[in-house]
Structures are given as structure tokens and as C-alpha cells.
């Protein structure tokens, strides 16, 4: 059984030695360890991939011993994940289909080890894509008036299907705190600019107006402040004076889908940790 353990605690002498020794003592074989110390806060972040033989390992027993032998002593916040359980990912979309197509084709190819119980959209335009891939599609319109009601419907679905995390694949609505608080650092958005430049609406128009020579895309966790959450992935591509706004939009689509897919994969692989509105991205 392959396990991934994420650890976060104050850095302290002997911690790496203690953790690796513990895994060893439990009969685990460490395959990969990656760690980071935030120098400002002196906080340690660690990710361990270990292999356990099934006869020696029970999740409950391991968790209890980790808690008693390590977590309390070193004040560790931690989580353990096994690869026999696929996380459940909900997709929120609006009218643009490039990110949706990209994620669903990766999903169909087995590249994303998740379940996708459903797609939610405030428009009906992309129901045909959901049909193509035989994923349930819920059309939940959102207006100023119905926003709260719509969000409640979304929450009902999210709970019913025990969704683990949400991907906003060019969902053009602002998500409110109610949803964010239910899914802290578990809602991934793709913003079509190199944040913090051009936060908010119409970033390609703003980029065109400013005359930049690069456009970008940013995959980030959604927090209360719009487009200001922890950044997971960013990339840029060159543009020139010959490109119109429509060219920016077309070139940007390629960036958006690749950057979003990378962010989603890092999340699925448990390679992201969040601290003080920044991410640690393990290799």
C-alpha cells in the first residue's frame, strides 16, 4: 500500500530523523521525502511517500501511533492519503469549453486519478460536452436574486456526492464565502492573467490596453478576496503588437488549460500545502 503523508509543524532539531525513524519502525519503506522550512516563520512542511506491506498496516493503528508517538510531541498537523481511494472532483463551468474539454479528455485517458460525479454550470451551453463524456450535468442558473438559492443547490449536490474538491474551469461567477468556508484550499480556479496583474474581470482586455508583451494564466486556490488566493501554478506566453484582443484570448486558452491541468494534478497528487496565503509545491 502506497501512502502519502503531509506534515506541518514548527521546525525543530531532530524532526526529520524522528519522522523517518517512525515510518521505519512501522515497517514502512520511504520512497520519497521532500521538505521545506519557511525561514520567516520557522515552520516545517514535509511530504513522504512510503510503501507498507498490507499485513503490517492498518490505517487506524497507524494513525493512532502517529498521533501518540509523533504528532503530539512535535505539535504536528498532518494528513495521510492512500492511493486506493480516488478523490471526488466537481467541475464548475460557464460557457467556455476549452478547460472542460481538456480536463475531461485527461480524465478519460486515465491521467487524472479522480472521480467526477458531476458538472455544474450557470448556463446550459456546455451540457453537450457533459453528454459527450457521459457526466451528469446540473444547470443551476445564477442571477443576483437567485445567487444564494443557487449556492444552496450547489452545496446540496456537493454534500450528496461527498465531493472532496472543486475545480472552477472558467466558471465566470464569483464564489461566495459560504462555499469557500466549506472547501478551504479545496477550490481551484484558473485566472487568465499572471496574477497579481489584471485581477478581476476582462484581464485580456486590460492586458491589451496596457500593451504587455506577455500574457499569462494562474491556477490558484480560491479565498475570500477575489483572485488573491494562494498561487499553485503560473505560466506566460509572448504576445506582440500584431495580436488583437481575440488573439490574446485564443493564445490564452492554451495557457489556461495547461496551467489549470497542472494545478489540478498537483492537488490530486497531494503535492500542495498552503501556509499564510502561499503554497508549498512539492516536487
Binding stretches for a second copy (CB under 8 A):
13-14, 16-17, 20-21, 23-24, 29-37, 39, 97-98, 101-102, 105-106, 108-109, 111, 132-133, 194-198, 210-214, 216, 230-236, 240-242, 244, 250, 253-254, 258, 261, 277-281, 283
Nearer to a second copy, 39 or 144 (CB): 39
Nearer to a second copy, 76 or 158 (CB): 76
Nearer to a second copy, 163 or 266 (CB): 266
Is residue 144 within 8 A of residue 116, CB to CB? The reply is no
Residue 227 is among the residues annotated as catalytic for this protein: yes
- CA 265 from centre of chain: 8
Is residue 106 within 8 A of residue 112, CB to CB? The reply is yes
Rounded-to-integer distance, Cα 254 and Cα 250, Å: 7
Output the smallest distance, CB 48 to a second copy, in A. Answer: 10
Taking the CA atoms of the chain, what radius of gyration do you get in angstroms?
A: 21
Number of helices and strands (H, E) in the chain? 9, 13
- CA 107 from centre of chain: 15
For 35, how many CA atoms within 13 A lie in the half-sphere containing its CB? 18
Reduced to 3 states (helix: H, G, I; strand: E, B; else coil), residue 224 is: coil
Phi/psi for 9 (5° steps) reads -160, 170
DSSP code string of 115-166: B---EEESSSTTHHHHHHTT--EEE----TTTHHHHHHHHHHHHHHTT--EE
Is residue 272 within 8 A of residue 280, CB to CB? The reply is yes
Output the smallest distance, CB 81 to a second copy, in A. Answer: 20
Reduced to 3 states (helix: H, G, I; strand: E, B; else coil), residue 98 is: helix
Nearer to a second copy, 99 or 158 (CB): 99
Output the smallest distance, CB 39 to a second copy, in A. Answer: 7
Rounded-to-integer distance, Cα 71 and Cα 62, Å: 12
Output the smallest distance, CB 152 to a second copy, in A. Answer: 32
Output the smallest distance, CB 149 to a second copy, in A. Answer: 31
Nearer to a second copy, 158 or 216 (CB): 216
Output the smallest distance, CB 250 to a second copy, in A. Answer: 7
- Active-site position among 227, 235, 247, 254: 227
Nearer to a second copy, 104 or 158 (CB): 104
Grid cell locating 70: 509523533
Which of the residues are catalytic? 227
Amino acid at each position: 500500500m502506497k501512502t502519502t503523508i503531509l506534515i506541518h509543524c514548527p521546525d525543530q532539531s531532530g524532526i526529520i530523523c524522528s519522522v523517518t525513524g517512525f515510518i521505519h519502525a512501522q515497517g514502512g519503506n520511504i520512497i520519497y521525502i521532500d521538505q521545506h522550512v519557511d525561514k520567516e516563520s520557522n515552520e516545517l512542511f514535509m511530504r513522504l511517500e512510503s510503501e507498507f506491506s498490507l499485513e503490517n498496516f492498518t490505517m487506524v493503528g497507524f494513525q493512532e501511533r502517529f498521533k501518540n508517538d509523533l504528532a503530539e510531541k512535535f505539535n504536528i498537523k498532518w494528513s495521510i492519503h492512500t492511493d486506493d481511494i480516488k478523490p471526488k472532483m466537481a467541475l464548475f463551468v460557464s460557457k467556455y469549453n476549452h478547460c472542460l474539454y481538456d480536463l475531461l479528455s485527461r480524465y478519460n485517458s486515465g491521467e487524472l486519478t479522480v472521480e467526477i460525479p458531476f458538472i455544474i454550470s450557470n448556463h446550459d451551453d456546455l451540457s453537450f460536452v457533459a453528454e459527450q463524456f457521459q457526466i451528469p450535468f446540473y444547470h443551476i442558473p445564477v442571477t443576483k436574486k437567485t445567487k444564494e438559492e443557487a449556492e444552496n443547490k450547489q452545496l446540496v449536490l456537493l454534500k450528496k456526492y461527498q465531493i472532496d474538491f472543486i475545480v472552477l474551469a472558467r466558471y465566470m461567477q464569483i464564489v461566495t464565502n459560504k462555499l469557500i468556508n466549506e472547501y478551504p484550499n479545496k477550490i481551484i480556479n484558473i485566472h487568465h492573467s499572471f496574477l497579481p496583474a489584471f485581477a478581476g474581470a476582462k484581464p485580456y482586455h486590460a492586458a491589451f490596453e496596457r500593451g504587455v508583451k506577455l500574457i499569462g494564466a494562474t491556477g490558484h486556490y480560491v479565498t475570500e478576496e477575489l483572485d488573491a488566493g494562494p498561487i499553485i501554478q503560473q505560466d506566460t506566453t509572448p504576445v506582440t503588437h500584431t495580436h488583437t484582443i481575440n488573439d490574446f484570448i485564443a493564445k490564452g486558452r492554451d495557457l489556461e488549460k495547461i496551467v489549470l491541468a497542472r494545478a489540478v494534478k498537483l492537488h490530486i497528487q497531494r503535492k500542495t500545502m498552503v501556509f499564510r496565503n502561499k503554497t508549498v509545491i512539492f516536487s
